[in-house]
Amino acid sequence: MSATTILDTIGNTPILELRHVAPRNGGRILLKIESQNPTGSMKDRMALAMISAAEADGRLKPGGAVVEYTGGSTGVSLALICSVKNHPLHLVTSDAFSKEKLDHMRLLGANLTILQSDNGRQTEKLTKDMIIEAHRIAEETGAYITAQMDNTDQMQAYTKLAEEIWEQTGGRVDGFVQSVGSSASFRGTSEALRKWKASITCVAVEPAESAVLSGGSSGSHGIDGTGAGYIVPLWYDGVADQIEKVSTAEARAMAFRLAREEGLFCGTSTGANVTAALRLAERLGPSAIVVTIMCDTGMKYLKSFSQEG
């Protein structure tokens, strides 16, 4: 059956076992290929959920304007959803994030406010400055702010993601690994998977340079979409069984390795996920199945990668 709009193609992404990037004495690693979503990112799921919920209960009127703060992928996804649903969109972002993402947002019709970063690095101050500016614009214009750091409407998108993982693995999943930005994808997917299998080990991933979830201090890092630099509102103690720290250098090196050894061109958040998944698969042993997420496509980072790779 053919789709009615591009939005009908969101979700139901494939899952793939890694063949070469695998632990020497550990379990199998399965990667959920979220780059198959329309904008090349898992954030299409949550953007659609946030806008649809606000439309359904009247918070967002037909043709009403939307505002959000974003590190890139959420902004691109919202730009797609809002273009199809005819909502003007204003995004607050930064030069810390890839130029490809900023260009993609503009091409989909979004209006951008770009805040300057500290030498292209993501920091707690930058995250909070973006949030403050987005709320100011929403109050000034009367637009609806999706406010991803606080928005629980997106949880239903990750319940659906968990359902797909459960069905695709036939319920054989021993570990789930996902990097933390707003914490929505990690929390929503983990909570849903635990309802089916209480013994599953759910591992949250954060930048080693800004390991606040692990009790460390805030710092700057280069893993897009992760590590806000403070304890985000959707996070709570106990949501993760373990927290894994991965450095920007490790995440980038793994992204390059996945491209060269598996033919999977991904971003640094995926590199961080797979690095942490390898560690978990080693700990759980050869019989385990660990699922993690290919968050987006490396095409969103092509210029920055080509300068370094």
Please tell me the predicted confidence (pLDDT) of residue 50.
98
**pLDDT confidence bin for 225, thresholds 50/70/90:** confident
| Number of domains present in the structure of the chain | 2
Q: What value, to the nearest 5°, has the Cα angle with vertex 172 and ends 169 and 178? A: 75
pLDDT > 50? residue 202 = yes
Please tell me the predicted confidence (pLDDT) of residue 309.
47
Q: Domain ends where: 81, 113, 145?
A: 145
Q: What is the mean pLDDT of residues 42-47?
A: 98
Question: In this structure, are 85 and 202 located in the same domain?
Answer: no
Residue 283: C-alpha distances to residues 174, 187, 206, 207, 258 (Å): 11, 22, 19, 20, 21
Domain assignment of residue 174, yes or no: yes
Q: Which residue has the higher pLDDT, 3 or 227?
A: 227
Report yes or no: 52 and 94 within 8 Å, Cβ to Cβ. no
Please tell me the predicted confidence (pLDDT) of residue 8.
97
Question: In this structure, are 136 and 190 located in the same domain?
Answer: no
Domain assignment of residue 139, yes or no: yes
Question: In this structure, are 174 and 194 located in the same domain?
Answer: yes
How is 186-206 classified by DSSP, letter by letter?
A: HHHHHHHHHHH-TT-EEEEEE
Looking from the CA of 175 toward its CB, the CA atoms found within 13 Å total: 31
Residue range 14-25, pLDDT digits in tens: 999 999 999 989
Distance CA 258, CA 295 (A): 13
Give the three-class secondary structure for 221.
strand
Lowest mean pLDDT among 102-116, 188-202, 234-248, 295-309: 295-309
Please tell me the predicted confidence (pLDDT) of residue 306.
62
Question: In this structure, are 116 and 253 located in the same domain?
Answer: no
Q: What is the mean pLDDT of residues 118-132?
A: 89
Distance CA 54, CA 100 (A): 28
Question: In this structure, are 59 and 181 located in the same domain?
Answer: no
> Which residue is listed with tokens 């720290």?
245
Question: In this structure, are 186 and 135 located in the same domain?
Answer: no
Question: In this structure, are 273 and 182 located in the same domain?
Answer: yes
Rg of the chain on CA atoms, in Å: 18
Distance CA 87, CA 206 (A): 33
Give percent above pLDDT 70 in the chain: 98
Domain assignment of residue 23, yes or no: yes
pLDDT > 60? residue 174 = yes
Residue 224: C-alpha distances to residues 112, 122, 230 (Å): 18, 8, 15
Domain assignment of residue 269, yes or no: yes
β-sheet bridge partners, residue 89 = 66
Please tell me the predicted confidence (pLDDT) of residue 307.
56
What residues make up the domain containing 73? Answer: 43-145
Q: Domain ends where: 124, 145, 166?
A: 145
- Which residue in 291, 298, 297, 244 sits closest to 272, CA to CA? 244
Please tell me the predicted confidence (pLDDT) of residue 181.
93
- Which residue in 55, 18, 22 sits closest to 33, CA to CA? 18
Question: In this structure, are 134 and 163 located in the same domain?
Answer: no
Question: In this structure, are 113 and 229 located in the same domain?
Answer: no
Question: In this structure, are 181 and 218 located in the same domain?
Answer: yes
Distance CA 39, CA 45 (A): 10
Looking from the CA of 76 toward its CB, the CA atoms found within 13 Å total: 23
Q: What is the mean pLDDT of residues 154-168?
A: 98
pLDDT > 90? residue 242 = yes
User: What integer best gives the mean pLDDT of the chain?
Assistant: 95
Question: In this structure, are 133 and 218 located in the same domain?
Answer: no
Q: Domain ends where: 125, 145, 165?
A: 145
Question: In this structure, are 141 and 183 located in the same domain?
Answer: no
pLDDT > 90? residue 54 = yes
Residue range 280-291, pLDDT digits in tens: 999 999 999 999
Please tell me the predicted confidence (pLDDT) of residue 1.
61
Distance CA 287, CA 84 (A): 45
Domain assignment of residue 207, yes or no: yes
Q: What is the mean pLDDT of residues 65-76?
A: 92
Please tell me the predicted confidence (pLDDT) of residue 308.
55
